[in-house]
């Protein structure tokens, strides 16, 4: 069978991750889609944003990037209010095959469920949602409609993390004992870039959840208990009512009842002069060895008059020049979004089954784990750091 059925994509959101709004970058979603256009997988892209100004910024970014990449694709921009469900009217009008949901955390479940009911395949930027009840609703409707639904947990594709998974599977670390994770971002994130909704989320829910999913992906252990502590000092003085930092201890259990502990320290009050947007480290200790990865220090440092000192991660999302001096993007962040697009493309062309796709993705069923932990962490924070039992 000749594969000919390209797909139409609807992106809901127009912020930093979509197009690099507020920065001099192009984000991650927009470059990924244009790379998919080059591979002749996508035929049309549409964007829904909450404001006309957001749509205008996105349009300028798209026009400039498509020129730099020498890519042509039909593209439409719809500035509408999400809380009036106009995104749903747009979806009914254009009938996309795929929707990528990149909105504030608390909107994920409502938007996703309404789109899946229209038989639209969905990729949700982490977290899947904020509680296990909504997560189960999302899973149930996706299974009923038999559509591909995934969460954008790109750390599963980072080669450093895949090396750790290899060490675990090959039993080079022995029996797993504990892991320490530190993950932080600059103050500009809650103070400026996400200021309008940073009080409706927290740093663990928005960012730390990446490493919750990663621990599950690496070990396949099941979480049983959670306890969390939070600090409100800096951001509260700026009249932003959310935690500066959150420390979470998760107790995991293997099928043989052996226990593994992960300690997650997350914050978003790093100095804005930090050499990278994110600072992240993970160590994992077993009875036979220790794995340590500084995922900020990738070995490349740039010092310039314009930007000062930068520690860049070229393996997540970076652009390069080809022989014609057009740019192309590569990295595990790009690869992760393109994989979802390709999954739908192959499914639509009867080249891959839902079962096959689920085996190689952060599907909704696996993502119930991270949603249950988010809910437990929020309960622990609300109840003076009480230990909360995980219920799946």
Q: Would you say 15 and 29 are in contact if contact means Cβ atoms under 8 Å apart?
A: no
- Range with the lowest mean pLDDT among 19-28, 177-186, 264-273? 19-28
Can you give the pLDDT at residue 4? Answer: 64
Residues in a beta bridge with 301: 311
Reply yes or no on whether the pLDDT at 135 is more than 80.
yes
3-state secondary structure of 200: helix
Residues in a beta bridge with 186: 270
Can you give the pLDDT at residue 28? Answer: 98
Beta strand segments in 148-277, E: 149-151, 176-186, 222-231, 245-253, 259-270
At residue 127, φ and ψ (nearest 5 deg) are -80, 160
pLDDT band at 82 (very low <50, low <70, confident <90, very high): low
Which pTM value belongs to this model? 0.95
Residue with tokens 């719809």: 78
Residue with tokens 């930027």: 125
Instruction: Compute the average pLDDT of residues 69-93.
Output: 84
Instruction: Compute the average pLDDT of residues 320-336.
Output: 95
Mean pLDDT across the chain, nearest whole number? 94
Q: Would you say 202 and 209 are in contact if contact means Cβ atoms under 8 Å apart?
A: no
Which is it for strands 121-124 and 98-101: parallel, antiparallel or unpaired? parallel
Reply yes or no on whether the pLDDT at 81 is more than 70.
no
Residue pLDDT, tens place only, 343-355: 999 999 999 999 9
Instruction: Compute the average pLDDT of residues 303-309.
Output: 93
Q: Tell me how far apart the alpha carbons of residues 229 and 250 are, in angstroms, rounded to a whole number.
A: 12
Residue pLDDT, tens place only, 202-261: 999 999 999 999 999 999 999 999 999 999 999 999 999 999 999 999 999 998 889 999
Reply yes or no on whether the pLDDT at 3 is more than 70.
no
pLDDT band at 44 (very low <50, low <70, confident <90, very high): very high
């Amino acid at each position: 069978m000749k594969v000919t059925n390209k797909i139409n994509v609807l992106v809901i959101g127009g912020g930093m991750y979509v197009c690099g709004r507020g920065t001099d970058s192009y984000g991650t979603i927009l470059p990924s889609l244009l790379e998919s256009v080059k591979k002749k997988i996508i035929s049309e892209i549409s964007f829904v944003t909450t404001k006309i100004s957001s749509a205008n910024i996105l349009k300028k970014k798209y026009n400039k990037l498509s020129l730099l990449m020498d890519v042509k694709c039909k593209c439409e921009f719809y500035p509408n209010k999400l809380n009036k469900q106009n995104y749903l009217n747009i979806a009914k009008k254009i009938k996309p095959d795929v929707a990528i949901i990149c909105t504030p955390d608390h909107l994920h479940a409502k938007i996703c469920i309404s789109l899946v009911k229209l038989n639209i395949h969905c990729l949700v930027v982490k977290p899947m949602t904020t509680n296990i009840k909504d997560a189960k609703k999302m899973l149930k409707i996706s299974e009923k409609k038999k559509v591909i639904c995934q969460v954008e947990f790109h750390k599963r594709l980072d080669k450093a993390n895949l090396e750790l998974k290899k060490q675990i599977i090959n039993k080079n670390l022995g029996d797993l004992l504990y892991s320490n994770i530190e993950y932080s971002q600059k103050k500009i994130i809650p103070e400026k870039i996400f200021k309008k909704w940073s009080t409706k989320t927290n740093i663990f829910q928005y960012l730390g959840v990446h490493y919750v999913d990663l621990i599950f992906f690496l070990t396949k252990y099941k979480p049983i208990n959670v306890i969390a502590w939070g600090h409100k000092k800096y951001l509260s003085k700026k009249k932003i009512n959310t935690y500066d930092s959150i420390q979470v201890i998760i107790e995991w259990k293997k099928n043989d009842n052996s226990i593994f502990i992960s300690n997650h320290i997350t914050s978003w009050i790093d100095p804005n002069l930090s050499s990278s947007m994110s600072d992240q480290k993970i160590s994992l200790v077993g009875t036979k060895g220790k794995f340590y990865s500084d995922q900020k220090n990738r070995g490349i440092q740039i010092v310039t008059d314009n930007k000062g000192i930068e520690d860049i991660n070229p393996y997540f999302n970076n652009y390069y020049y080809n022989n014609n001096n057009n740019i192309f993007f590569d990295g595990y962040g790009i690869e992760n979004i393109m994989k979802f697009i390709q999954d739908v493309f192959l499914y639509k062309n009867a080249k891959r089954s839902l079962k096959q796709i689920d085996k190689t993705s952060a599907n909704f069923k696996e993502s119930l784990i991270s949603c249950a932990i988010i809910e437990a962490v929020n309960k622990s924070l609300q109840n003076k750091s009480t230990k909360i039992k995980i219920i799946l």
